[in-house]
Amino acid sequence: MNEFRLRIYEQVMNNAAGGKTSLFNKICGVTIFLSIFFAVIVTENSIDYQFGHQIDLLDWIIGALFCVEYFCRLWVAPLDAKYGKGWKGVFRYIFSPMAIIDVIAIVPSFIGVRAELKILRVIRLLRILKIGRSEKFKQSVFHFNYALRSKSQELQISTFYTVLLLLISSTCMYLAESSIQPELLGSIPRCLWWSITTVSAVGYGDSIPITVVGKTIASITSLMGIAAIAIPTGILASGFSESIGVKKSNENQLPENSL
């Protein structure tokens, strides 16, 4: 029994050799995505009307699988040093953030909530964090954190440039269009909304300049907005490249140091 429990622990806690995602967690990941998929499509009235009973049945099955997963994690929790042994470890796991997320994710499968509320089950997506313990995932997080830390000053300058562009363009648009379109561009905060949608290249179309000066300001803002998006993208890409280079350099130096 102890050997079987240890094997379950390795699968559940993803402690298998090689740092790869265990089969147990892979199955859990697929089940989570299926659950989210059904929770999303059931909000469509035509699908809910035609396949509602079948989806509810699948939801019960998925909920039962989540219950099995929860009790497996509960059973092997005392084997993990961070929870402790015996009942103390069990209770520590029950009140851990991820265990609480598990319960929140399971409950909607067994209560009769309306389709609009069933979308709350998307919180199951947070449980994907459990299977994010593979070596590739850890390396990706490391490279991302390295890029943010090493390029923090450059990113701050880029942010300052973007904020300055938003303020200047919204102020100029206010001076050019406020008297002509007071409802849409009659204040700097309203113009700031226009500026944000223009710089981000979204352009919802609810605020459009109609004067020659306003259109000129909009054109310049659009062109300057390209830099506002491209600059931080390039900075982060450079940080990623440096992080990968540093990692490879350290790996190449390991054999020399071992000699």
51-63 tens-digit pLDDT = 878 888 888 888 8
How far is it, in rounded angstroms, from Cα 32 to Cα 126?
A: 10
- pLDDT at residue 201, rounded to an integer: 78
259 pLDDT band (50/70/90 cuts)? very low
Total residue count of the chain as it appears in this document: 259
Q: What is the pTM (predicted TM-score) of this model?
A: 0.58
What confidence score (pLDDT) does residue 116 get?
53
Q: Which class in CATH covers the domain with range 2-133?
A: mainly alpha
Is a pLDDT exceeding 60 seen at residue 18?
no
Give the pLDDT of residue 22: 79
pLDDT (tens digit per residue) in 210-224: 999 999 999 999 999
According to CATH, the topology of domain 143-245 is: Helix Hairpins (1.10.287)
DSSP calls for 166-221: HHHHHHHHHHHHTTT-HHHHSSHHHHHHHHHHHHTT---SSS---SHHHHHHHHHH
Is 113 strand, coil or helix?
Answer: coil
Percent of the chain with pLDDT over 70: 82
Q: What are phi and psi of 219, to 5 degrees?
A: -65, -45
Task: Enter the DSSP assignment of 15.
Answer: -
pLDDT at residue 161 in the model: 92
Mean pLDDT value of segment 18-46:
78
- Name the DSSP letter for residue 20: P
Q: Average pLDDT in the 116-142 region? A: 61
C-beta pairs of 33-36 under 8 Å, 24+ apart in sequence = 34/58, 34/62, 35/59, 35/62, 35/66, 35/105, 35/109, 35/121, 35/124, 36/121, 36/122, 36/124, 36/125
Distance from C-alpha of 247 to C-alpha of 251, rounded to nearest angstrom: 6
Max Cα-Cα span within the chain: 81
- Domain boundaries, given as residue ranges, for the chain: 2-133, 143-245
